[in-house]
Chains A and B, each alone.
Chain A
Amino acid sequence: MTSGISDYRKQEESITLSSSPAGEGLQQELMTINMGPHHPSTHGVLRLIVTLEGEIVRDVKPIIGYVHTGIEKTAEDKAYWKVIPVVERMDYLSYYFNAMAYCGAVEKLLEVEVPARAQYLRVIHLELNRIVSHLVWLGTSALDLGAISVWWYCFSEREAILDLFEMSSGQRMHTRYFQIGGVIEDVPRGWIERVRAFTKTMRTRADQYAALLDKNEIVLQRLRGICPLDEQTLLGLGVTGPLLRAAGNPWDLRKAAPYCSYDHFDFKIPVGTQGDNYDRYRVRHAELYESCDIIDQACDGLPEGPFITTDRKVALPPRHELATSMEALIHHFKLVTEGMRVPPGEVYNPIESPRGELGCYVRSDGSSKPARVHMRDPSFVNLQATAPMTRNSYIADLVATLAMLDPVLGGVDR
């Protein structure tokens, strides 16, 4: 079967397999296996080429690109505000964050100010999205470890939050609620009360998850002391977010470089000590409580006012004005057909997403379509830490570490 190598296999010839075997020893048999893109434990379509010596992982090479959608290229083809739904679908668990990074970048370029009420509403939605993302992470990670029922508990809480999203914007996921200059619509009556009721139940639920998992013998054996990575290596790799915080570095953009009124709120940053998998789990779990705190404070202090900027060159005018005002009609027409014109320049807007620093680079050439949109996705950079973390650990630890890394392949591949 010499000529039977299919084109598909030929693609893999260029992948240099593992370098020289680690460690000395006369009798080592290194086996390179493929944890393919279709696998129950890789979170998404991640392909890992794992070099094993028995059960011990000697090297891991991630191969990505299996859900590459050319989002950044599509974004160059659309008007500025039409890019928002496209960009939201990148990191599909933290859709509000993608929209926030992009809208923040364009607002920087336009030098348009977001009204206070819009900022607070944005914060509430962002923190609710953070809770959703952490719940899905917790559910799927517990599933990987074998604690299958936690998955159902987390997803049932997630349904409660998606109900809130549906109430405010009409959609459960990818809501295009954030627009350039604010949010698309004010929240309906009764929404704030429901959010408050939710955060109360969320705290109880988070306590229940802790009671199930925190001191569970199996979880401790699977996660405690497994695959630690020190802070310096993580910083060299560009890792941010809960992974870096678990290693002891309290870097959080919400505190370090506050954006969108985060400096109005009082919350703590959970930080780990050893940087192992258990700390990563505890840091994300503690962030659930902090997000509930932020949401409560934002609900209490929600100011009155417009929910989107009043600059008609950026935001659509309210519908009732279209019947009476000629300028409103013209602005509406221009915005919908052509889009807004953005002064030329380049801007990089970083925010803190549930996985780390999510940055959006937008280059404008003065027209109504962006010349380049690039999202610096945290999972893309964090994935480089897989190999250093899992070297010389067991396959089971590889699975647990991937779960604790929380990669979302939509963001990795874009």
Chain B
Amino acid sequence: MEVTRAKLDDDFRIRQLRARDMLRGDIPDEELEQYVEERVLTTTLDKAVAWARGNSLFPATFGLACCAIEMMSVVGARLDIARFGFEAFRASPRQADLLILSGRVSIKMAPVVRRIYDQMLEPRWAIAMGACCSSMGVFNNYAIVPADKFMPIDVHVPGCPPRPEALMHGILKLRSQIQGDPPAGWRERYGAHGTEEVLGDADLPGVNAVNVFQSGETGSA
């Protein structure tokens, strides 16, 4: 049987010969340093671990209400969360490291959510998906509680319900945060530091705009 060798291009041949020289110990020192730098990725252990953690989050199956259906869409075929490695939704909080709070947290459910979050092992993250768990959402009433009041949240994803793409964006932001490369806030990106609202004394009545509520007031349409 004829065996035809593929014609290697020159670049590859050069690399082959240099590799042979390195193995024989024939490369002089300066060139050796450059050789190693081209080929070896140095990093700290932390960064390596963070990279691995970010690429293999195990979300917990924690669907509460309507946002859960959009979270299921993220797992669906169109916007496939498995591309990123996050398709292994674990039912047990002991095995999960990401809690995607999808839906409204009622006052009866809040202690349950906190228990589940407590049962998760470090390192763990939480995404508040949707308007209801980040703030009160559409319903500003006696029955629900924003998630920030009882557990730390890493990323808030707005929307009612957020599109699956929006949730994906939030999860990827969390991933960059985990991998040590947090996305810059908008004030950094646009050089807008110094535009924060600073009021002399927030207890003064009659503050600014019509639609700014004093603390203690609630809004109603």
Query: Do any CB atoms of chain A lie under 8 A from CB atoms of chain B in the complex?
Result: yes
1/0 contact string of A1-19 vs chain B (CB within 8 Å): 0000000100000000000
Contact, CB under 8 Å: A67 / B161: no
Find chain B residues with CB under 8 A from A71 CB: 139
Bound-state CA distance A44–B64 (Å) is 6
Bound-state CA distance A39–B106 (Å) is 17
Q: Please give the distance in Å from A93's CB to the nearest CB on chain B.
A: 7
Question: Is A285 interfacial (CB-CB < 8 Å)?
Answer: no
Contact, CB under 8 Å: A173 / B106: no
Bound-state CA distance A318–B191 (Å) is 42
Contact, CB under 8 Å: A37 / B109: yes
Contact, CB under 8 Å: B109 / A45: yes
From A65, A92, A159, give the contact of B73 (CB < 8 A): A159
Bound-state CA distance A8–B111 (Å) is 8
Q: Please give the distance in Å from B66's CB to the nearest CB on chain A.
A: 4
Interface, chain A (partner B; CB < 8 A): 8, 36-40, 44-45, 65-71, 73-74, 77-79, 82, 85-86, 89, 92-93, 136, 152, 155-156, 158-159, 162, 172-174, 409-410, 413
Known: A68-B106, A69-B106. 12 other contacts (CB 8 A): A38-B93, A39-B91, A65-B106, A67-B103, A77-B220, A85-B138, A155-B77, A156-B76, A156-B77, A159-B76, A159-B77, A159-B78
Contact, CB under 8 Å: A92 / B69: yes
Find chain A residues with CB under 8 A from B132 CB: 69
Bound-state CA distance A350–B4 (Å) is 79
Contact, CB under 8 Å: A92 / B66: yes
SS of A interface (majority): loop
Identity of the chain B residue whose Cβ is nearest the Cβ of A413 in the assembled complex: B106
Find chain A residues with CB under 8 A from B221 CB: 77-79, 82
On whether A66 and B106 interact (CB within 8 A), knowing A77-B220, A78-B220, the answer reads yes
Identity of the chain A residue whose Cβ is nearest the Cβ of B105 in the assembled complex: A67
1/0 contact string of B89-114 vs chain A (CB within 8 Å): 00101000000000110101101100
From A36, A39, A86, A159, give the contact of B138 (CB < 8 A): A86
Identity of the chain B residue whose Cβ is nearest the Cβ of A152 in the assembled complex: B77
Bound-state CA distance A136–B64 (Å) is 15
Contact, CB under 8 Å: B141 / A74: yes
Find chain A residues with CB under 8 A from B139 CB: 69-71, 74, 86, 89
Contact, CB under 8 Å: A174 / B109: no
Identity of the chain B residue whose Cβ is nearest the Cβ of A40 in the assembled complex: B91
Nearest first, the 4 A-B pairs at minimum CB distance are: A70-B143, A92-B66, A155-B76, A40-B91
Identity of the chain A residue whose Cβ is nearest the Cβ of B104 in the assembled complex: A69
